[in-house]
Amino acid sequence: MLRGDVPALQLIPAEDGRVRWGPLVRLSKGTELHDFGKAFDNRTLRVRVDGHFYIVFSQDLDKAQKAESPMQTGLD
């Protein structure tokens, strides 16, 4: 589950079997991600959320996962 919001680019299946770019969306804190895997390169990941596929940057995902850590927020 995400600990913070993450920007993501939705992938939408087209009628011809190809995939087209969808809207840029925000995957919200608490979202459960599946199917982590390399997308275009080592900086991007392909994830599945509720049956829909998205591309996220691993750097954004790392930041979101650290968003609530005590070291980041200063909270105990």
DSSP assignment of 15-27, as one string? TTS-EEEEEEEEE
What per-residue confidence (pLDDT) applies to 73? 38
The Cα 11–Cα 53 span in angstroms is 5
What per-residue confidence (pLDDT) applies to 72? 44
Q: What is the mean pLDDT of residues 48-57?
A: 94
pLDDT in tens, 3-43: 999 999 999 998 998 989 999 999 999 999 997 788 889 89
Does residue 43 sit in helix, strand or coil?
coil
Contact 47, 53 (CB under 8 A): yes
Domain residue extents for the chain = 6-71
Give the residue, 67 or 38, on which the prediction is more confident.
Answer: 38
What per-residue confidence (pLDDT) applies to 74? 39
Q: Which residues contact 50 (CB under 8 A, 6 or more apart)?
A: none
pLDDT surpassing 60 at residue 55: yes
The Cα 30–Cα 59 span in angstroms is 18
